[in-house]
Amino acid sequence: MTARTRDDVPIVLEGGGVELRTQAIGGGFSVGYVTLPQGTHMGPAFKGLPGDACQCPHWGYLLKGRLLMHTDDGDETYEAGQAYYWGPGHVPEALEDCEFVEFSPTEDFRTVLDHVKSAMG
């Protein structure tokens, strides 16, 4: 069994108010603690991935804020207090300052993170 608090998990991506902490927790999954300031649109960071979108599925809970998720099937708004599943092919946009915790397949997430890190420069 493994448990991690936000402060236990290392920062793997940071800049412009965006903060992503993630760490493998077992069973092929990683936990992520994510902070996105209002106005953050992840589209540019996903450019070059299939569909120019995140291809990693995520299960999580929005702790704070409102987030607009862009997908090929349309846009959907998520609000603090909601649990979610985001399938492959999504692009988040923070309508307000957002904080969420999510669980993702480690290898799929690593692929997306490597791409985002190279896109950020």
Give residue limits of the domains in the chain. Answer: 6-120
Q: Is residue 12 scored above 90 in pLDDT?
A: yes
pLDDT at 2 (0 to 100): 83
At position 117, the amino acid (one-letter code) is K
Q: Which fold has domain 6-120?
A: Jelly Rolls (2.60.120)
Q: Work out the pLDDT band at 119, boundaries 50, 70, 90.
A: confident
Q: Is residue 75 scored above 70 in pLDDT?
A: yes
- pLDDT tens for 83-106 read 999 999 999 999 999 999 999 999
Alpha carbon 105 to chain centroid distance?
12
> Any residues with CB less than 8 A from the CB of 28 and at least 6 apart, and which?
105, 106, 107
Predicted model pTM: 0.94
pLDDT at 121 (0 to 100): 67
How many residues in the chain? 121
Mean pLDDT of all residues in 25-51: 96
